[in-house]
Amino acid sequence: MSTATTKDHPHLAAEFNRDEPRVNWHDETLWWVRAKRDIAAHKLPEWELLRETASQIKLNVLSNLSTYLEQFEANAIKNGIIVHWAADAAEHNQIVHNLLEQRGITKMVKSKSMLTEECHLNEYLKEQGIDVIDSDLGERIVQLANEPPSHIVLPCIHKKKEEIGDIFHEHLGSAKGESDPKILTETARQHLREVFLTRRAALTGVNFAVAETGEFVICTNEGNADMGAHLAEIHIASMGIEKIIPERKHLGVFLRLLTRSATGQPITTYSSHFSKPQDGTEIHIVIVDNGRSIQLGREEFRNSLKCIRCGACMNTCPVYRKSGGHSYHTAVAGPIGSILAPNLDMKKYADLPFASTLCGSCSNVCPVKIDIHDQLYKWRQVIVKEGYSPKTKTMAMKAMALTLASPTLYRMGGKTGRLVFKYAPFAVNNKLNPWYNQREMPKAPDESFGEWYAKRKGAKNS
Amino acid sequence: MSREKILAAVKFNQPTANPLPDMEVLNTLTDVRTELLAKYKTIATAGGSFVYEVSGFDEIKTILKNEFKPGVKIISALDELSDYIYADTVKHEDGHTFADVELTVLRTNLGVAENGALWLTEKEMGSRVLPFIAQHLAVVIGKDDFVPTMAQAYQTIGEADYGYGSFISGPSKTADIEQSLVIGAHGPRSLSVFILL
């Protein structure tokens, strides 16, 4: 289940690309979701105003975050909620474990929370002897497959129904060869109902936390967060510090944008507002920093903290669609993940800002108008300056800069290239040349534009 | 400890103040005179809800009697249905005992035309888990209880004090397996909406 890997994005993408029909299927499925997003967005004449408003609200949040966090905490406490603070992933995991241990709880049900993926909570709790079951269908599937989610909204988008059928046959006892999504979903329903009814603790994520009221909102289509939370004695909600919004009425902006951007639905089936615990039960909130306050201080990258985790930038990204979520080797994949991850570990994730064509499609669909592709470009500059870019790439770039700066070298290089293409094509058309993979090398012209122009000028003058 | 450390780091790193945007335009942009009921019906139906326009509770009972076999466990806090179903006080401690509830019928007075969402708070639910654990959910709403968008919905909710509330826009669903839409993930397999005319 560990996402730790020594392979970088190009290598992991190459592995994903070995099965070309699967890549095409993955690509088309995600593009279909992107197209549904477009239809939903175009139905609202005020769409662009909504995006701009959401972006401005989030900018206000970032500039008043310390005040809003204190306000949220005070109001949540007033509502009877217990608030914890975690500086990093380890502290978050420890807080959760302590809460369970104090109550002698060894089994927990958990709904989707990318923050707990980021903190590797499941692995940690497993080591402590705590059994965690993910209740979102997609997350349950990847959990049984011993894999991390490959997409923040569609965790098992990389899996075919036949593979899911095999997993369910092995773990949940469905009939061998059964791959009908309806029947598989029913199998999971029965299995997880039993889980919901027997777990004393439930952990959920948080989509939005309202400073003004101390309430928090969780959005699901399946109802799994609610099933878990309402049947448990203790509900633990994990949230990053950036989930704060100022006032309840601002939910009216974000809930209109979130699901339309994510899947093209006008809203999730359930948008649940938790304000106070039910009698006899407890709600705990763990507010997690884990590098976010550092990102807040990076002027060029702080806008990434506006993200509401809709996944639209992944669905539209030509690189994500064709390389798969796992190739990003981080909890949040795709364009947004590629600007969040280097903040946590610049060396480990130095490859991610380069996993982009910089086409800008991500920025165009982002519901809170994060300048994603600009930030990817800026991260590249930071990473090269800090010396974290791959050596071959740095050398190649230096050679290129030298060549472009000198007319002599430039002409010589061009001439050599054309000669090689003409007389020794095997020197470039081979597996040692990464450009040759999945590409035909171009035919080189006999002469350069410069040579042609000089000849033409000479002919005219004579 | 960590609280002070985090707040200090945030305070140090946050940018200079940016004002909140004006929300008035969004609040008033949608024409409230548009046919709200028709729009709600179209969108709720597309989202998998069954929408009925009814003259009163007698008609609701007739429809429910057709849909649900006698003898199944049906729970509601609505007095109007007390002769048809179990309508005793619902307490949250009973949460786990609702596991075999076939149908629950709840009342709301706020629906949203743009997305088919119905606002229900703990007060209407009786027990928070009820609208999730029941195999089927039915919600009764008045024809004048619809607003155009979420902007107006939150204006209506205002500063209401609730322990828990949820916008519910359809039956529980998932598309996690190859993006195939399946109704009835963990919550109700159907949502029937009765609009009182």
Q: Best mutation site among B14, B96, B127 for testing chain A: the one with the most A CBs within 10 Å?
A: B14
Distance from CA of B38 to the nearest CA of A (A): 16
Residue A5 in this model has a pLDDT that exceeds 70: no
Three-class secondary structure assignment of chain A: CCCCCCCCHHHHHHHHCCCHHHHHHHHHHHHHHHHHHHHHHHCCCCHHHHHHHHHHHHHHHHHCHHHHHHHHHHHHHHCCCEEEEECCHHHHHHHHHHHHHHCCCCEEEECCCHHHHHCCHHHHHHHCCCEEEECCHHHHHHHHCCCCCCCCCCCCCCCCHHHHHHHHHHHHCCCCCCCCHHHHHHHHHHHHHHHHHHCCEEEECCCEEECCCCCEEEEECCCHHHHHHHHCCEEEEEEEHHHEECCHHHHHHHHHHHHHHHCCCCCCCEEEEECCCCCCCEEEEEEECCCHHHHHHCCCCHHHHHCCCCCHHHHHCHHHHHHCHHHHCCCCCHHHHHHHHHHHCCCCCCCHHHCCCCCCHHHHHCCCCCCHHHHHHHHHHHHHHCCCCCHHHHHHHHHHHHHHHCHHHHHHHHHHHHHHHHHCHHHCCCCCCHHHCCCCCCCCCCCCHHHHHHHHHHHHHC
Is A454 within the bounds of a domain? yes
Q: Which of A56, A241, A302 sits opposite B15 (nearest CB)?
A: A302
Is A81 within the bounds of a domain? yes
| Structure token pair of residue A348 | 């480990």
Pair A251, A316 in one domain: no
Is A179 within the bounds of a domain? no
How many angstroms separate the CA atoms of B155 and A356, rounded? 42
Is A142 within the bounds of a domain? no
Query: A68: nearest CA in chain B?
Result: B7
Pair A345, A446 in one domain: no
Is A365 within the bounds of a domain? yes
Pair A374, A427 in one domain: no
Residue A3 in this model has a pLDDT that exceeds 80: no
pTM listed for this prediction: 0.93
What residues of B are in contact with residue A50 (Cβ under 8 Å)? Answer: 26
How many angstroms separate the CA atoms of B70 and B81, rounded? 15
Tell me what ipTM this predicted complex has: 0.96
The mean per-residue pLDDT over the stretch B59-81 comes to 88
Give the domain-ending residue among A294, A321, A336: A294
Pair A375, A235 in one domain: no
Pair A63, A33 in one domain: no
Is A284 within the bounds of a domain? yes
Is A61 within the bounds of a domain? yes
Pair A3, A126 in one domain: no
CATH number at residue A128: 3.40.50.10420
Using one digit for the tens of pLDDT, what is the confidence trace for A299-334? 999 999 999 999 999 999 999 999 999 999 999 999
A368: domain range? 1-42+311-391
Residue B128 in this model has a pLDDT that exceeds 60: yes
Cross-chain residue pair A223–B172, CB shorter than 8 Å: yes
Interface of A with B in 9-68 (CB under 8 A): 29, 32-33, 45-46, 49-50, 52-53, 56-57, 59-60, 62-66
What residues of B are in contact with residue A274 (Cβ under 8 Å)? Answer: 164
Residue A434 in this model has a pLDDT that exceeds 80: no
Pair A382, A318 in one domain: yes
Q: Best mutation site among B1, B3, B5, B6 for testing chain A: the one with the most A CBs within 10 Å?
A: B6
Pair A324, A373 in one domain: yes
The mean per-residue pLDDT over the stretch B133-155 comes to 96
Pair A247, A102 in one domain: yes
Pair A430, A284 in one domain: no
Residue B89 in this model has a pLDDT that exceeds 70: no
What residues of B are in contact with residue A192 (Cβ under 8 Å)? Answer: 186
Pair A320, A446 in one domain: no
Give the domain-ending residue among A357, A391, A425: A391
Give the domain-ending residue among A391, A421, A439: A391
Q: Could you name the CATH architecture of B33-196?
A: 3-Layer(aba) Sandwich (3.40)
Residue A440 in this model has a pLDDT that exceeds 80: no
Least confident range from A105-119, A243-257, A395-409, B8-22: namely A395-409
Using one digit for the tens of pLDDT, what is the confidence trace for A146-195? 999 999 999 999 999 999 999 999 999 999 999 999 999 999 999 999 99
Count of domains forming chain A: 3
Is A170 within the bounds of a domain? no
Confidence band for A2, pLDDT divided at 50, 70 and 90: very low
* Domain layout of chain B by residue ranges: 33-196
